[in-house]
């Protein structure tokens, strides 16, 4: 019965009077095909746009909850955007990386094809890789290997050393890791993505931009604002959702229980029949136990209704060792399934991809390459290395 429009609704009591609010129902389907179309109740917004919402009525909500009814997407924004598909985005955005890496690839290639390639030069090469946050062990490994290869090849030709360096860098980044995002629904249950990380890393922005990626790729999405410690985060998420036709579930006040918001978001996602629910969480790095309790509770509560398919850890690529420390704490608190490295456009430290994957044994799945709405790209090792080398 997935494709049948089910009418759902909510009755809430508001300040001395009761008023009927509308719960959105999204029909699963591909944008542009008419399957995902509809409109928010009473707005008169045009039907047929991607992921917009169909009005309905329906079940009563428990009156004691501090989670608000879902904000029907597109209602405030009026016009719903259709984001571009995500395929090949890293290639299109590689200029951001190449620009920020001023010198990284160029300096390495200059040294490798230069007049003198002695011990001192190899030390310099290793130093450059370490400075790019690759980590000491991977940098040493890469240099040892490259040194042998250059000797065996007996060449210092720029194109040839570039090919050797490229292959070795790709190997360090590990092309064999499974970087697919698990965002396909399970029958009538949506996929659930939990976004975790320290405040300021770009977590909320990533939730909004991931919604755009998924919607651009033809999915329907609902956002849960379980970062209840900052009202601004919920507002931010609502703005993102409004632009692309993703409903948002948020609390009615700061400090509300994040797990209730997560639970209500997933419940609303099931009722609305969306493909994926993305849940933003608070990024207060208090004690490890506190973090563990909070994220553990959110996950457990979600799992009463659906499976948590992805726990994405958002890290700011400019924070180097500090970012790695954060990664360690989060990985101990929750089972991280993928890393989102943001702000790679603002750093020459692209080596952090290698270091963080080694540290956590988890692949980088997405990278942030700017502040624009579509500057989040699926990570591709070869395209990334090409960008580093300015190919």
The footprint of ligand GDP (CB under 6 A) covers: 197, 199-205, 233, 283, 342-343, 345-346, 368-371, 375
Give me the least distance between CB of 248 and ligand GDP, in Å please.
Answer: 15
What does the CA dihedral 29, 30, 32, 38 come to, rounded to 10 degrees? 30
Contacts of 69 (CB under 8 A, 6+ apart): 10, 12, 21, 22, 23, 61, 249
Q: Least Å distance between CB 46 and ligand GDP?
A: 30
In whole angstroms, the minimum distance from the beta carbon of 232 to ligand GDP comes to 8
Q: How many whole angstroms separate alpha carbon 279 and alpha carbon 264?
A: 11
* Residue nearest ligand GDP by beta-carbon distance: 368
Q: How far is the CB of 242 from ligand GDP (least distance, A)?
A: 16
Q: Which two tokens stand for residue 353?
A: 């991809």
Cα(280)–Cα(373) distance, integer angstroms = 17
Q: How many CA atoms lie within 13 A of 217 on its CB side?
A: 18
To ligand GDP, the closest distance from the beta carbon of 341 in angstroms equals 8
Where do the H-state alpha helices sit in 217-257? 231-244
Q: Whose CA is closest to 83, among 52, 36, 50? A: 50
CB-wise, 31 or 240, nearer to ligand GDP?
Answer: 240
* Least distance from ligand GDP to the Cβ atom of residue 376, Å: 7
Nearest distance from C-beta of residue 194 to ligand GDP, angstroms: 14
Which residue, 184 or 371, is less far from ligand GDP as judged by CB? 371
Q: Which is nearer to ligand GDP, 133 or 375 (CB)?
A: 375
Pick the closer one to ligand GDP by CB: 198 or 271.
198
Q: List the one residue out of 259, 296, 294 whose CA is nearest residue 279.
A: 259
Question: How many other CB atoms are there within 10 angstroms of residue 388's CB atom?
Answer: 26
Helix (H) or strand (E) run with residue 95 in it: helix 94-100
Residue 243 backbone phi and psi in degrees, to 5: -70, -30
Residue 204 or 238: which CB sits closer to ligand GDP? Answer: 204
* C-beta closer to ligand GDP: residue 273 or 378: 378
Q: Judged by CB, which is closer to ligand GDP: 122, or 229? A: 229
């Amino acid at each position: 019965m997935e494709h049948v429009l089910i009418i759902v609704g909510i009755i809430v009591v508001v300040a001395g009077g009761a008023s009927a609010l509308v719960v959105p129902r999204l029909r699963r389907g591909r944008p542009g095909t008419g399957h995902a179309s509809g409109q928010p109740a009473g707005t008169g917004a045009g039907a047929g746009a991607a992921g917009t919402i169909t009005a309905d009525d329906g079940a009563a909500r428990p009156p004691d909850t501090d989670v608000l009814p879902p904000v029907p997407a597109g209602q405030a924004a009026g016009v719903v955007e259709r984001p571009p598909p995500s395929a090949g985005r890293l290639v299109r955005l590689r200029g951001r990386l190449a620009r920020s890496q001023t010198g990284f690839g160029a300096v390495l290639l200059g040294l490798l094809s230069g007049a003198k390639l002695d011990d001192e030069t190899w030390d310099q090469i290793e130093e450059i890789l370490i400075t790019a946050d690759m980590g000491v062990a991977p940098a040493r490994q890469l240099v040892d290997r490259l040194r042998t290869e250059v000797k065996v090849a007996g060449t210092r030709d720029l194109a040839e050393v570039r090919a050797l360096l490229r292959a070795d860098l790709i190997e360090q980044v590990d092309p064999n890791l499974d970087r697919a995002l698990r965002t396909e629904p399970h029958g009538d249950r949506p996929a659930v993505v939990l976004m975790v990380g320290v405040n300021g890393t770009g977590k909320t922005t990533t939730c909004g931009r991931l919604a755009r990626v998924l919607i651009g790729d033809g999915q329907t999405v609902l956002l849960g604002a379980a970062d209840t410690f900052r009202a601004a985060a919920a507002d931010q998420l609502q703005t993102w959702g409004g632009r692309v036709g993703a409903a948002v579930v948020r609390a009615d006040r700061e400090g509300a229980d994040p797990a209730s918001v997560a639970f209500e978001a997933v419940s609303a996602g099931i009722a609305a029949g969306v493909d994926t629910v993305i849940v933003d969480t608070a990024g207060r790095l208090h004690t490890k136990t506190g973090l563990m309790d909070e994220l553990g509770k959110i996950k457990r509560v979600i799992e009463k209704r659906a499976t948590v398919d992805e726990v994405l850890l958002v890290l700011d690529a400019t924070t180097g060792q500090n970012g790695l420390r954060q990664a360690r704490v989060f990985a101990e608190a929750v089972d991280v399934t993928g890393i989102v490295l943001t702000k790679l456009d603002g750093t020459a430290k692209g080596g952090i991809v290698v270091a963080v994957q080694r540290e956590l044994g988890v692949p980088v799945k997405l990278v942030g390459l700017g502040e624009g709405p579509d500057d989040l790209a699926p990570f591709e090792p070869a395209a990334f290395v090409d960008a580093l080398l300015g190919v």
